[in-house]
Amino acid sequence: MSLRDSFPRGEQKYELVPDRQIIVAGMTLYRIRALKDFGHVKAGDLGGFVRSEDNLSQLGDCWIADDAQVYDEAVVSHDAQIRGRGRVYNHGRISDRGQVLGNGQVFENGWVFKNGVVFDNGMVFGAAQVRDNGLVYADAQIFENVRVVDDGQVCGHARLCGTTVVGGDEKVGDVVSHAPQRRPTGRGGPRFPSPGGRGR
């Protein structure tokens, strides 16, 4: 069941604005506009961009603000917040009170929830999770099955993969795994840099 099918029409908290659209990787994204007051949002406020109503739940206080973008099969629900130029795409999920701020990105099957926050240029992808007040920020990247939990922090230029768990007030910065660095393509996930040079 899609998000749009599960909520009765006429009671939505937001709508897509047809004449406020952008093209991202060949897809049309629509700016959203609040239809009623909820959370810190007032009726008439313009938000960020989605591909369809399937990307942002009509329930709870979740919101996509500023120039943030959510598209593909990504879902923002509950009281989650996407702000700044944050991007959530592929099958990324932001739920509970998860937040993506600044230039943070969540993609592939990344999941941010239970007060987890991704900000600055932090990236969460693969099947990585940020939850329980965990933070990923600066230029840090977590992927594969990494978990950042219980006030753990990953920051700096850290790149963590595998089944690493960071938690209990632990702060990890500038630790680099042996996995290749991944860069977002803007559509369909990251790409690998060419050997001995930058990615194209």
Domains plus CATH for the chain? Answer: 57-178 (2.160.10)
pLDDT at 175: 87
User: In a 10 Å sphere around its CB, with 0-12 CB exposed, 13-18 middle and 19+ buried, how is residue 103 labelled?
Assistant: middle
* pLDDT at residue 25, rounded to an integer: 86
pLDDT, position 176: 84
Give the per-residue pLDDT at 178: 54
- Tell me the pLDDT of the chain (200 aa) as tens digits: 344 545 566 689 999 999 999 999 899 999 999 999 999 999 999 999 999 999 999 999 999 999 999 999 999 999 999 999 999 999 999 999 999 999 999 999 999 999 999 999 999 999 999 999 999 999 999 999 999 999 999 999 999 999 999 999 899 998 887 555 555 555 544 433 333 333 32
What's the pTM?
0.86
d(C-alpha 150, C-alpha 83), whole Å: 23
Distance CA(134)–CA(39), nearest Å, equals 23
